[in-house]
């Protein structure tokens, strides 16, 4: 059965691109969210197998959303996505429970490889 992924990014462009990459690789898109608050709420609703989570977002940052998701579901498998320059946040995200980091702009092969690794634990 296809794994369900939730995509979180405030940019529609980024969500669309990621969605196309993931669908092409056989994932099912559980839901999409455009800010941190929505991400937490939708996570609880659809309980996806994987989450791609942007960092710079309105209402609640990706790091804050990650903390709340992990507090709700310690087994959540969240991959952080962010543009170049946010590497400094890797430590904070890892500490909060992020399983991996993907840099934007998205490289389809890299995205699918990282997600596959995270999915397989």
Partner 1 sequence: MDMSQYKALFLSESREYLRTIAEQVVALEQSPGERSAVDALFRGAHSLKGMAASMEYGDVVVVAHSMEDLMARVRDGATPFDAGVADLLLEGVDLIDVLLQDVEQERPSTLPTGDFAQRLATYAPAAPKAAPAEQAEAQGAAADAVPSPAPTGPAPSATAAEAAPPAPEAEKAKEPAGEAGGTVRVKTELLDHLINLTGELVTNKQRLLTIAGELASPALNDAISETAKLLRSLHDEVMKVRLMPFEAISDRFQRSVRSVAKKSGKEIHFELTGREIGLDRGMLEQLVDPLNHILRNAVDHGIEESGERERAGKPARGTVRLAVTRDRDRIQITVRDDGRGMEPATMIAAAIAKGILTPEEGELLSPRQALMLSCIPGFSTAKEVTDISGRGVGMDAVNAAIQKLGGTLGIESEPGVGTTITLRLPLTIAIIHALVVQVGQVKAAIPVNAVQRTVELSRRQIETMGKRQMFQLDDEAIPLLSLNRVLGLPLGRFPDGILPLFVTEARGRRVGIVVDRLLGQHELFVKQLGRPLSKLAGVAGGATLGDGEIVAILDLAGLL
> Looking at beta carbons only, is 71 or 83 nearer to partner 1?
83
**CB contact set of 68 (below 8 Å; sequence gap of 6+):** 40, 60
CA dist., res. 41 & res. 43, Å (int): 5
User: Which positions touch partner 1 (CB under 8 A)?
Assistant: 10-17, 21, 32, 34-35, 55-64, 83-89, 103-106, 108
Nearest approach, Cβ of residue 67 and partner 1 (Å): 12
> Looking at beta carbons only, is 32 or 49 nearer to partner 1?
32
> Looking at beta carbons only, is 13 or 75 nearer to partner 1?
13
Do the Cβ atoms of 65 and 81 come closer than 8 Å? no
């Amino acid at each position: 059965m296809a794994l369900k992924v939730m995509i979180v990014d405030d940019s529609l462009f980024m969500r669309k691109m990621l969605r196309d990459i993931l669908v092409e690789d056989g994932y099912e898109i559980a839901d999409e969210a455009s800010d941190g608050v929505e991400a937490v709420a939708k996570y609880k609703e659809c309980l996806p197998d994987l989450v791609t989570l942007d960092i710079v977002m309105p209402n609640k940052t990706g790091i804050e959303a990650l903390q709340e998701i992990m507090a709700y579901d310690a087994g959540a498998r969240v991959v952080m996505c962010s543009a170049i320059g946010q590497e400094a946040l890797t430590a904070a995200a890892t500490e909060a429970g992020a399983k991996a980091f993907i840099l934007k702009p998205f490289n389809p092969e890299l995205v699918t490889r990282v997600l596959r690794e995270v999915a397989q634990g």
